Amino acid sequence: MTRLTGDAAALRIGVVGAGGIAHSHLAAWQRLGSRVRVFSSDGRASEVGGRYGATAAPDLAALLADSDVIDVCTPTYTHPDIVRAAAAAGRQVICEKPLARTHTDAAQMIEYCAAAGVQLWPGQVVRFFGEYATAHAAVRAGRIGTPAVLRLSRRGSAPGPEWFADETLSGGIMVDQMIHDFDYARWIAGDVATVYARVVPGPGRTVTAYAVLRHISGALSHLVGAWAGPDEVFRTSFSLAGSAGLLRHSSAATSAVTWAGVHDTRAGAVIPGGTARRSPFDDELAEFARAIAGGPAPRVTAADSLAALDIALAAVMSAAGGRAIAIEEVQR
């Protein structure tokens, strides 16, 4: 991965949070050559930041004062306040997905940033994974004809931090995890009209969720998300069937290195690929930094992330009510 150059390289990055996803972002910023400071309310900023050449800020105000870009890597339920503070301070914003726990919060975050004249980019990192980006390009090039039936699957161990298990804080598996595939399905087949979903709790904190989307185009999407036991190897797959072809991928079948009989020392981790030479986080954050520095528009916008959140929220409503949900019911 090449380092950032020019104005993008000069941006002072302020990361908020020192949990799982912050590690991925800090490592990426370090590879990109950016100057990074970290603030985290849990007091781990100095320790975690130190691993990636980043210095700690004593509080959010100090971080805001000393950054051009605020990169929000905190738990979902804290996003709105932090983004609002960043926008109020005139800082450019990158915010992890989901933007917020509710449609209203996410929509207001977009409005605040627009009103403050700052950019807001969402951490929908799946669009930056090589397999997903390459498949999207192939679909756009017409290789499968018109998308017809999409299958998207994502499995991993249930995330460790307690707040993920609290649906009022994280939104649950569909809002937190499947939002990646909701966003991807929409990227491939366009806006969604209706959502039907079922959530099946397993033993302990495990859960499997299924969703069927009908896109306005008429395309259908089938999604599976699983938060499984601590030894679950993270894996994803997709199958994109179109009027003139079929495109499939399985992470399990395409790993360059595989392990067996080895306990996963990253048990509880939900973020794959932290040490790969080509990290999707590098591509994602570089694209956002270049846009902030006046470069081309990134492949994903905050509006896209809000649309994915709406699909996830419709799925939550559907699973709770046992009926199909029109996407407008969420946006209302």
Q: In the complex, which residues of this chain contact another protein (CB under 8 A)?
A: 146-149, 151, 194, 196, 198, 200-203, 208, 210, 212, 214, 218-220, 222, 224, 226, 239, 241-246, 322-324
Contacts 24+ apart (CB under 8 A), 223-226: 223/151, 223/152, 223/153, 223/154, 223/178, 223/181, 223/182, 223/185, 224/152, 224/153, 224/154, 224/155, 225/153, 225/154, 225/155, 225/173, 225/174, 225/177, 225/178, 225/181, 226/154, 226/155, 226/156, 226/173
The least CB distance from residue 126 to another protein, in Å, is: 20
Which residue number, 4 or 185, has a Cβ lying nearer to another protein?
185
The C-alpha atoms of residue 141 and residue 144 are separated, in whole angstroms, by 8
Which residue number, 317 or 324, has a Cβ lying nearer to another protein?
324
The two three-digit tokens of residue 42, written as one number = 């849990």
Which residue number, 108 or 239, has a Cβ lying nearer to another protein?
239
Which residue number, 30 or 206, has a Cβ lying nearer to another protein?
206
Closest CA to 86 of 170, 17, 7, 4: 17
Element holding 223 (H helix, E strand) = strand 220-228
In DSSP notation, 224-269 reads: EEEEE-TTPPPEEEEEEEETTEEEEEEGGGS-SS---S---TTTT-
The least CB distance from residue 212 to another protein, in Å, is: 5
Conformation bin of residue 32: beta by default, left when phi > 0, alpha when psi is -120 to 50: alpha
Which residue number, 147 or 298, has a Cβ lying nearer to another protein?
147
Question: Is the bond preceding residue 58 a cis peptide, omega within 30 degrees?
Answer: no
The least CB distance from residue 130 to another protein, in Å, is: 23
The least CB distance from residue 40 to another protein, in Å, is: 36
Residues contacting 209, CB < 8 A, separation 6+: 172, 173, 174, 178, 197, 198, 199, 200, 223, 224, 225, 226, 315, 319
Closest CA to 48 of 21, 13, 68, 71: 21
CB 202 within 8 A of CB 232: no
Which residue number, 31 or 214, has a Cβ lying nearer to another protein?
214
The least CB distance from residue 140 to another protein, in Å, is: 16
Which residue number, 260 or 275, has a Cβ lying nearer to another protein?
260
Which residue number, 89 or 220, has a Cβ lying nearer to another protein?
220
Which residue number, 84 or 151, has a Cβ lying nearer to another protein?
151
The least CB distance from residue 321 to another protein, in Å, is: 10
The least CB distance from residue 84 to another protein, in Å, is: 38
The least CB distance from residue 147 to another protein, in Å, is: 7
Paired strand residues for 247: 240
CB 122 within 8 A of CB 97: yes
The least CB distance from residue 152 to another protein, in Å, is: 12
